[in-house]
Amino acid sequence: MIQAHADAILALLRADPDLTVHDGHVPDGSEPPYVLVYVADADPEQSNSHSLTAESTRHVTWAYCHCVGANQIAARAVAQRVRAALLDVTPTIPGRACWPIRREDGQPAQRDESTGVVVVDLVDVYRLESVPA
């Protein structure tokens, strides 16, 4: 299930031909602009909506989108493309009923020189939730 949710998010991002998307790893020699995506998941407690078998059925996935550019303007441009690709979109995952993707959190742009190349990294966190269809 985790991979299905990650695939849905990554597919939405990769549908933008002007957006370079990296899934958890930036290959050597990659140049900004790009978005580096880390996916995390959870099975939240549903106190008022348990199934009769008491199984967790709701699945939450967070996409941590590192929007990377050579400067703040470029990082914001990547962030805008990511927002356009994800925000309020209801993806299709076989066997699941999904809610629209929401922006959950974010961090301001930060300058990063750790690789020897100056880049600006702006992080936005998006949430995708689903239940069995």
Sheet strands (E) in 4-118: 21-23, 34-42, 59-69, 96-98, 102-112
Of 114 and 17, the one with more pLDDT: 17
Look at strands 34-42 and 21-23 and give their pairing.
parallel
Q: What is the pLDDT of residue 106?
A: 94
pLDDT classification of 89: cutoffs 50, 70, 90? very high
Q: What is the pLDDT of residue 75?
A: 97
Q: What is the pLDDT of residue 46?
A: 55
Other C-beta atoms lying within 10 Å of the C-beta of residue 76? 15
Q: What is the pLDDT of residue 58?
A: 85
pLDDT over 70 (residue 88):
yes
The arithmetic mean of pLDDT across residues 97-123, rounded, is 93
Q: What is the mean pLDDT of the chain?
A: 91
pLDDT tens per residue, range 51-84 = 566 566 788 999 999 999 999 999 999 999 999 9
pLDDT classification of 127: cutoffs 50, 70, 90? very high
pLDDT classification of 85: cutoffs 50, 70, 90? very high
pLDDT over 80 (residue 43):
no
Predicted structure pTM score: 0.90
CB 64 within 8 A of CB 40: yes
CB 79 within 8 A of CB 13: no
Place of tokens 């959950």: 104
Q: What is the pLDDT of residue 57?
A: 79
